[in-house]
Amino acid sequence: MNGTVDTAHLLVVDDDARLRDLLQRFLTEQGFRVTAVADAAAARGAIASMTFDLMVLDVMMPGESGLSLAEWLRRDGNEVPILMLTARGAPDDRIAGFEHGVDDYLAKPFDPRELALRIRTILRRAAPPPASQALPTAPVQLGPCWFDIERAELRGGEGIIRLTGGEAALLQALARRVGEVLSREEIGAALGTPEAGERAIDVQVTRLRRKVETDPREPRFIQTVRHRGYVLRPGP
């Protein structure tokens, strides 16, 4: 992060000019630096020339959709936290967002104060801990990878393996309670999305397994405990 949580640089992408202007004014009043654009093409240009700490992204836009833009970002290795705005709050829409690497979602219409709260929650989750709080903690081994619990960093043979904020929070929650089964409700609370639902949690687990498991279909480390939840079992 370039600054503190309250001075983070946000990119707002929404084709609704009235809502875009409202969000820019409100979030600026909250202390954030805000760049606002109308569509995915303009967002790509802004991303190419500036660094952002978080993106507020509308799903339905003319031309390229927000989901398509999120997918492109993740495929390109950009793990900027994304909060998705959707006019539809149906579970399938939320799950589609998580499948594309989105960190959180907010259904329209929404209270701007809730948006600011969710933004700060995501930014705190993504921010590295202050040095004074970075207590020595033994990394957790996941085959050829090692996960630093305090820094929420996953390292492999070629350096740091990129995780989204949601993936890092998920692995951190499991690693803090190695060998214990975490229910989907507990995982949702750790991710800051307690209302996400079971399928959305399963999607996040599936995405994380792709990064830590040799064969995600036969997971060794992030195991499913039927009717109960998930458990992390480290090992070489």
**pLDDT of 171 above 50:** yes
Question: How many whole angstroms separate alpha carbon 207 and alpha carbon 203?
Answer: 6
pTM across the whole model: 0.64
**pLDDT of 41 above 50:** yes
Q: What is the residue extent of each domain of the chain?
A: 5-126, 131-232
Other CB atoms within a 10 A radius of the CB of residue 199 amount to 13
CATH number of the domain located at residue range(s) 5-126 in this protein? 3.40.50.2300
Token pair recorded at residue 41: 């093409």
Question: Beta-strand (E) ranges in 14-168?
Answer: 33-37, 54-58, 82-86, 104-107, 140-142, 145-148, 153-156, 159-161
**pLDDT of 66 above 60:** yes
Average pLDDT over the chain reads: 87
Q: What is the mean pLDDT of residues 17-44?
A: 94
CATH code 1.10.10.10 for 131-232: yes
81 touches 165 (CB < 8 A): yes
Beta-ladder partners of 35: 11
Question: How many whole angstroms separate alpha carbon 53 and alpha carbon 34?
Answer: 10
91, 129, 154, 190, 230 from 187: Cα distances, Å: 17, 20, 19, 5, 9
Query: Hey, do 5-126 and 131-232 end up sharing a CATH topology, with the first three levels equal?
Result: no
Residue 231: enclosing H or E segment and its boundaries?
strand 229-232
**pLDDT of 33 above 60:** yes
Pairing of the two strands 153-156 and 145-148:
antiparallel
**pLDDT of 124 above 90:** no
**pLDDT of 133 above 50:** no
Question: How many whole angstroms separate alpha carbon 3 and alpha carbon 130?
Answer: 13
181 touches 194 (CB < 8 A): no
Please give the DSSP secondary-structure letter assigned to residue 7. G
pLDDT of residue 100: 85
Q: What is the mean pLDDT of residues 16-31?
A: 94
Q: 132: which residues sit within 8 A by CB, 6+ positions away?
A: none
Contacts 24+ apart (CB under 8 A), 176-183: 176/149, 177/232, 178/140, 178/232, 178/233, 178/234, 179/231, 179/232, 179/233, 180/231, 181/225, 181/228, 181/229, 181/230, 181/231, 182/229, 182/230, 182/231, 183/228, 183/229
Q: State the pLDDT confidence band at 198, using cuts at 50, 70 and 90.
A: confident
> What percentage of the chain reaches a pLDDT higher than 90?
50
